[in-house]
Amino acid sequence: MANMFAFAETRGGELRKTALECVTAARQLADASGGGEVHALLVGASGIAAKAEQLAQHGADVVIVVEHAGFAQYNPEATATVAAERLKGGAYRAAVFSASAQGRDLAPRIAAKLGVGLVSDATSVAMEGDALVAQHPMNTGKLIATLTLTGSPAMVALRPGAIAPAAKPGAGRVEQAPPVGDPSAARVVVTELRVGNTSRIDLGEARVIVSGGRGLKAAENFKLVEELADAFGNAAVGATRAVTDDGWRPHTDQIGQTGRVVSPDLYVAVGISGAIQHLAGMRTSKTIVAINKDKDAPIFKIADYGIVGDVFDVVPALTAAVREARKAQ
């Protein structure tokens, strides 16, 4: 029986989906250890406590709420200090973070403060006896390392989307705690959050991603990808590095070795040949569909379903068919 810690990521006063993923993973670890408690840390400006309920619904036994005006934006130094203090005093066996942009910034700071090991971008995590064991894709996903962490707490940052949030309603005791020191006195300060196109769900949270490559021939043809994404409902739009380098899409849309790494339920690759650079970012998707005119394109080797054909012929037909299929439901 061991207690587990989960960090609940927020942005702009709202929980991120990854917060629920982390609580779910910590719940699974606690249950596997014979039923320890899950403590979730929720840090934010005044009022963030309202989000504790959602964490309790996913299996947090205790939600530690730290409210301060200095947490209105992500505050890396003060958040790391609060989390490290809590982890020092809590006798947690494992601490679960997300390998999101925020989690990748935060978790290593905390691990270094505590002097413990950290595995980032884990696709699964489990206890094996006294050790925490995590799987972690390496070398652009061409190898999977199984890593063993000794010491307590063992820290892990989970790949977003690798574990689906699971409801596990409980009472979820809320515990208000003060910040450690003055969060407003941090050296590193986020002065502004520029939110991009908010009409579409983020790549990391989408269950369906439609991505486009050079096969679309020109920036304006990306509307075919956008329309297919719309047909699926709440889908995100991604792109290859070739496309973002050419400025057809912003760099933040890039999926691949030097861009985002995603694991949606469905990944639709439109006019993408399947360079290693790109496969590194999407090969752990659950179902992969590829549409490409070159039957020898490497993307077909990892696609579950492929259509060989002109994207300008196939994609509009698929968009119409998906729209029909969803209307019929």
Partner 1 sequence: MKIAVCIKRVPVMEVRFAVGKDGASVDETGLKYDINDFDLWAIEAGLQLKEKAGTGEVTVISLGPDAAQEQIRKAISMGADRGVLLKADRIPADGFAIAQALAAELKDGGYDVILFGKISIDSANQIVGPMVAELLDLPCVTAISKLEIANGRGTAHRALEGAVEVVEFPLPAVITVDEGLNKERLPSLKGIMAAKKKPLDVKPAQLPELRVTVSRMALPPDRGAGRIVGEGSAAVPELVRLLQTEAKVL
Residues 247-306 that bind partner 1 (CB under 8 A): 251-252, 254, 257-260, 265-266, 276, 280, 283, 286-290, 295, 300-306
- For CA atoms 254, 256, 260, 263, the dihedral sign is positive
* Strands of 32-170, DSSP E: 38-44, 62-67, 94-98, 118-122, 124-128, 131-138, 143-149, 154-158
Alpha-carbon gap, residue 186 to 190, rounded angstroms: 10
The residues in 209-238 that bind partner 1, with binding defined as CB under 8 A, are 232
Residue 22 engages partner 1 in binding (rule: CB under 8 A): no
Region near partner 1 per CB under 8 A, out of 24-32, 34-42, 48-56, 144-152: 144-152
Task: Select 141 or 172, whichever has its Cβ closest to partner 1.
Answer: 141
Alpha helices in 40-100 (DSSP H): 52-56, 76-90
Task: Select 36 or 238, whichever has its Cβ closest to partner 1.
Answer: 238
Q: How far is the CB of 178 from partner 1 (least distance, A)?
A: 22
Q: How many CB atoms lie within 10 A of CB 223?
A: 12
CB–CB of 212/239 below 8 Å?
yes
Alpha-carbon gap, residue 272 to 276, rounded angstroms: 11
Single out the residue of 77, 85, 227, 230 in contact with partner 1 (rule: CB under 8 A): 77
Residue 314 engages partner 1 in binding (rule: CB under 8 A): yes
Residue 198 engages partner 1 in binding (rule: CB under 8 A): yes
Single out the residue of 36, 44, 90, 204 in contact with partner 1 (rule: CB under 8 A): 204
CB–CB of 70/48 below 8 Å?
no
Task: Select 56 or 318, whichever has its Cβ closest to partner 1.
Answer: 318
Residue 126 engages partner 1 in binding (rule: CB under 8 A): no
Alpha-carbon gap, residue 308 to 149, rounded angstroms: 45
Region near partner 1 per CB under 8 A, out of 38-46, 57-65, 167-175, 313-321: 313-321
Residue 150 engages partner 1 in binding (rule: CB under 8 A): yes
The residues in 156-185 that bind partner 1, with binding defined as CB under 8 A, are 160
Residue 52 engages partner 1 in binding (rule: CB under 8 A): no
Q: Give the residue from 212, 213, 255, 209 showing the smallest Cα distance to 235.
A: 209
Residue 246 engages partner 1 in binding (rule: CB under 8 A): no
